[in-house]
Every structure is written in structure tokens, then in C-alpha cells.
Structure 1
Amino acid sequence: MGPSCAPGQAVHEAGFITIGGIEQWVVVDGADCGNPVVVMVHGGPGNPNTPFARNIFRDWENDFTLVQWDQRGSGKTYSANRPAEDEPLTLHDLTTDGVEVTRYAIQRFGKRKVILMGGSWGSALAAHMAIAAPDLFHAYVGTSQLVNYQEDLRVGYARTLALATAAGDSDAVARLEEIGAPPWANPRASGALRRISRKYEALVSEPAPSGWFAFGPGYDTPAYEADYEAGEDYSFLAFVGPANDGMGSGIDLRGLGLSFPMPVWMLQGEEDLVTPASVSRAYFDDLSAPRKIYVSLPRTGHDPNRIMIAAQYEALTQARPEAVAMDGR
């Protein structure tokens, strides 16, 4: 990446940085380097936002410097460090990577702290980062908050089965009864549930705009798209494990403690069947933080849409004044 970036100067950078002992892909976009920095933690695992980030987040660049990276095992980081099929992917290593990316951003832009934002899988990883290195973060903004993987699966399965039953959807009911209620021994079961739950979310949610998830310049090649899919497969298998015993199975944020030493925003789709609102809200209610705000998103499931993106921007805007004051601007 380039030399230090002064206030008033725009920044648009993309390249490899040594993080966690390997080359990892980091992308930075902002209209003014003096603005607060947001470290954005992508979901999946294995689904980087970098190929289509400017389709979705470009307007945010006027008020924030956006720092994103392709987590190990995904995207261009996967391309540069192709793991063996049995090479482990651990929450510990990913957390350490995220903290290292954050320290890089703080040094690169001369900040005291950054705002941390994560969604879905990225919300669990971001929460681990926030607790591991709380001195680095002004605030935490979590969306589609993954709290306890086993509990989220249990509630999501029950809700999806109830919806399919009420709709008289015999094919979906038969498939759900075939895989049975979690926990599962078959790693494909979670994918089967998601295909059905996405169908029912779509019936009551505002869809994402056409073109949001089109790969942008530098990513729109067959070779990259193949690597993206390969990284997605590798990361997802590491997450679920061969017998649903992967790194996801142990996620329980309550085990980190219920105290966040920074303000917390939690944004939750009312129609989310992957990280159901009842689980996220119960966790939020038990948290202690200097300030905490829960936002319920109507006509929104687990995946991004305009309602979700607007709520994320509003949360960042609410967190911005303290970040600006602390950064001395």
C-alpha cells in the first residue's frame, strides 16, 4: 500500500499485505483520509465483499474510510495461498488476522481507534475481535448477529418447518423432515435448510437491487470467479466440519462474556431465518456496554437489502461524532 494518507486526500487502494504470516488482500476506499475508519468483516465464511463493495457501499466513502480484507481461505487471499483440503481454518487465526488488519489501518491512517462492523459469520468474527482487542475500537456494529450457532440452527429450523407446514409446501416439509432437527452429522444438512429458508425469507423481504452482487473490475474474470467459489467451498467446509464439528459448532458469544467496553449497535432482520431475531435480541438484552442500540429491520431477512444497508449507514453515522472527536478532527 502507499505512503501515509493526509486529511483531505482521497484513497483507493487494493493489494496484498502480510497479515498472519501470509499475503492477504486488503482494499481501502474513502474520499478523505481524515474521516473515521471502518473495518468491515465479511460473512460466509468465504464470501468477501471486495468484488462488489463499491456497488453497495460507494456512497459511504464520503463520510468514512472503508477497510476490507479477504479473510484467509477466501477470495484473493485464497488465490495467493491455496490451502490443502485438510489445512485447518480456525476462529483463533481469523481473529488474530482481523486484529492485525485493524492495527495496520490505525497506523496507516493515523487513528487512535476504528469502527468495527460485521455481518452474519462476520458478526461472530468481529465480536471475537472486539473482545480480543477492545482498545482498538470506537464502536461495534453487528448485523444478522450470529450468537450461538447451535441455537440459531435449532430456532431457524423450527421456524422454517413451521412456515413450510403452514404453506402446505409438502416438498420442503419432506426435505426438512428427512434431514431432521439439528444437530446433524451430515454437513450438507445446513445447506439444505438454507435453500428452503431463503425461499421463505424472499416471500416477505425486500430483494436486493439488481446488479449489487455483480463482480466489479479486477474481479470479473473466470479465473477469479472459480477461485471465489473454491474459497467459499473450502471455508464453508471448515465452518461446518465433516460431521458438523467445524469451527461454527463452537460459536457461543456468551462464552466471551457479556460486557462490551465500546458502544454496540445490533441490526436484525425481522424475517431472518439463519440468525433469528429472538436469539440475537436475547443476547443483546443481556449485554452491558457504554451505549447499546437494537434496530429491528422490517421486510429484511438474513441477506443484505436496501433496508439493511441504510440501517448500517445510520448506525455508523451515529457512531461517527465520537470517532471524529477522538481522532482529533
Structure 2
Amino acid sequence: MLGTVITTAAATVVATPAAGLLAQRGLLRARNARLIRITDPRGIDEQYLTPIGGIDQWLSIRGDDISNPVLLELHGGPGSVNSIFTARTRAWEKHFTLVRWDMRGAGKTLRHGGAEGQGEVSFERLHRDALEVIHHVRTRLGVQRVVLLGHSFGSVFGLRIARSHPELLSAYVGTDQNILDDGRDNSAYFDVIERLREAGKKKELTTVEAMGPDARSWTAEQHSLYHRYSAATDPQTLGALKSVVMKSLWYSPLHSLRDLGTFFRGMKLSAQVVLTITGSDDWADGTRFEVPFFLFQGAQDMITPPERAHRFFDDVHAPVKDFALIDDAGHFAAFKHPDRFLDLLLTRVRPALDTVGAF
């Protein structure tokens, strides 16, 4: 849902002379390549394409000890892959076998097959792909269950999988958690209106007011504009886009210059997926989960407000559940403060896995 915003933020990061920028990029990519190196004989470091949903899709499996619990991420966007954060989250791999998947229409999956080779790019297709990825990972790593980490847009079908397939999961963890309610709560829309008014953004204010508060009636372009204006008036999210997302992409040792272009094409290609979920209702779909359930949200998140996530959390029935705020963070809280997020995984999620014998 933030593709247009990330594209806009890119201009700020690369607004320095090209020669100096490329030299700095080379140095920092080399440093990050050393940082992410896995040398423990018990470890795993694999990146490969495998058939998922009828097309080849890209997976990364990394960790210092193959006996650790498996943590499978569902990235956001749609189309904004998490493989760019490998260097920032290196410490996670000391405690979990971390699986990252570039969904159809995104990242290295898109680069390999091209836009014409992605097939159907829809919410339902991505949901089926996610289930197939889980089965693939279980077989490849010889585990019964995985911890599912839903991030931003990925948390939408993360919730669905956690409800309907508890036999595949040892726990569900949501961050930047999207909670859908079929349009009942439009407070975030009016918050954007107020921030635009306070900032004196008259043109943008007129545009958002003309859209109206019912997101179910917006076009894909209107969704992109709304999220652009929402992030642009939120210092926490805009700062994270520049200092966390864009710099992670630019200095990623796993991503070439060609991959950078694919990153932005993926978000453009995937933008239409948002239209297929605006009428969804997580309360109506159910608040009973048969797996340990965790939400870790940025305390200042204006894109996926923690207040809405907490209202849903209060109604959740699960064997174990916990909610935590990450201070000094908006959207992308897990990647702005990966050390704090890891602490939550170790002190709250990992004990629940031990209690239920889930890995």
C-alpha cells in the first residue's frame, strides 16, 4: 500500500553526485556482504527459485543453526520485498531460521519471469501461493510448523492463514498489522485530512477530500495518492522510508542495480491487489485463533494505527496472546528497531513455542 511513497522517497536518497554515490554504495555493500556471511557449519544460506503456483518464485533461507525455529515472513507493499533488510536483521538469524519470499509480481520473482510471466496477481492468488510456500518450507527444512510473520500488507493474508490453518503454524506474529473492518473506521482518513490542513497542503487536501472517506470506492491510483499523502505528513514513516527502506535497498549486497529497478516496477505492478481487499472484515472473519497470537506495532504508526490493532487484539481468543508497542517508531517498526523486535521475539514469542511444543 506504500509503493508510491517508497518511490517518492527514493529521489531523496539518490540526490547526490552519481560517481560518489556508486563508490559509497560499493563500499557499504561489501561491508554488508561480510556482515551477513554465515559460517557456522550448523547454518544454512540458500537463495533459489522454486515452482510456486505455476511459476518460479524466489526464496531465501538463512540462519546460523538449522535446529532453530523457522520464521517465515510475508512482506508488505504490495510488492515491497523484505529481502532488502537482510543486513539490518542479521541478528535474527542467530535465533531463527529466517525465510524470505519475493511474492509473484515482486522482487527477484518478477525479475526472473518478467511482468508477462507472473500470471494472475491478486490477493487470492497470493494467499494460495503463501500456503504453498509454507508447505514447501516445511518439506525442505523438515519441520511441522513455522512461525508466520505478517508485515503490513502481508499481515492481511497472514491473519487469514493463522485462522484457517493452525496446523501449519507454531505462532502468528503481526507487525504493521493491517486490520480491515469493511470501512467502518475511517478515523485515519480524517487524521490525514487534518495533517494536510495543518501543513497548508491545499492541493493535496482538495484531492483527498474529493475522494471521500469510503476507501472501498477508491481507484488504485487514489489509494496510492492517499498513502503518499499519509506518509508525507507523518515524520516517523517518512523518516523510516528514507533512512531504513531506501538505504537498505541501496546498500543490499543481495540486490544489483537492475534489482533496484525491479523493486519499483513490482510495487507498480502489484498496486491493483489493494482493490481486492477493501471490503474485507477481520472481525466478521473471526477472532478465534488456535495458535499463539502476537501483535507488535509501532507506537506512532499512522499507516496502520496501533489503536485499531489493539481493538482487534482485545477481541482475539488464542492459547497465548500478547501485544506490544515499539516506541519511537511508526510504520516499518520491526526494521527501524530490529534489536527491539528481536527482543520481543525472544522474550514473548519463543517461550510460547516452548510451552506448546510447537517446533
TM range (shorter): 0.7 to 0.9
Select which of 187, 209, 221 maps to 1:155.
187
How far residue 173 of structure 1 moved from its aligned partner, in angstroms, is 2.6
8 Å CA contact 1:131, 1:260 repeated in 2: yes
- Distance in 2 between residues matched to 1:68 and 1:32, nearest whole Å: 16
Are 1:123 and 2:152 matched, yes or no?
no
Are 1:229 and 2:264 matched, yes or no?
yes
Deviations 1:274-295 (A, max 9, x none): 2222321211111111111111
1:9 match: 42
Aligned length: 314
The AA in structure 2 aligned to 1:19 is I
2:15 match: none
How far residue 147 of structure 1 moved from its aligned partner, in angstroms, is 1.4
Are 1:270 and 2:299 matched, yes or no?
yes
SS of the residue corresponding to residue 56 of structure 1 reads coil
How far residue 149 of structure 1 moved from its aligned partner, in angstroms, is 6.7
1:299 match: 328
How far residue 197 of structure 1 moved from its aligned partner, in angstroms, is 1.4
What is the TM-score when the length of structure 1 is the normalising length? 0.85
- Distance in 2 between residues matched to 1:154 and 1:57, nearest whole Å: 34
Residue segments in structure 1 that go unaligned for 5+ positions in a row: 1-6, 241-245
What is the TM-score when the length of structure 2 is the normalising length? 0.78
The AA in structure 2 aligned to 1:191 is S
SS of the residue corresponding to residue 342 of structure 2 reads helix
8 Å CA contact 1:85, 1:234 repeated in 2: no
8 Å CA contact 2:320, 2:352 repeated in 1: no
1:4 match: none
How far residue 109 of structure 1 moved from its aligned partner, in angstroms, is 2.1
- Distance in 1 between residues matched to 2:122 and 2:45, nearest whole Å: 30
2:25 match: none
Select which of 271, 294, 319 maps to 2:349.
319
Ranges of 4+ aligned residues in structure 1 off by more than 6 Å: none
Are 1:62 and 2:91 matched, yes or no?
no
1:251 match: 280
- Distance in 1 between residues matched to 2:184 and 2:150, nearest whole Å: 17
8 Å CA contact 1:113, 1:135 repeated in 2: yes
8 Å CA contact 1:272, 1:302 repeated in 2: yes
How far residue 185 of structure 1 moved from its aligned partner, in angstroms, is 3.9
Deviations 1:257-309 (A, max 9, x none): 11011111112223222222232121111111111111123332223465553
Deviations 1:73-127 (A, max 9, x none): 2112123333449953232222222122122222222222111101110111211
1:219 match: 255
Give the % identical residues. Answer: 27
Once structures 1 and 2 are overlaid, which stretch shifts more, 283-292 or 293-302? 293-302
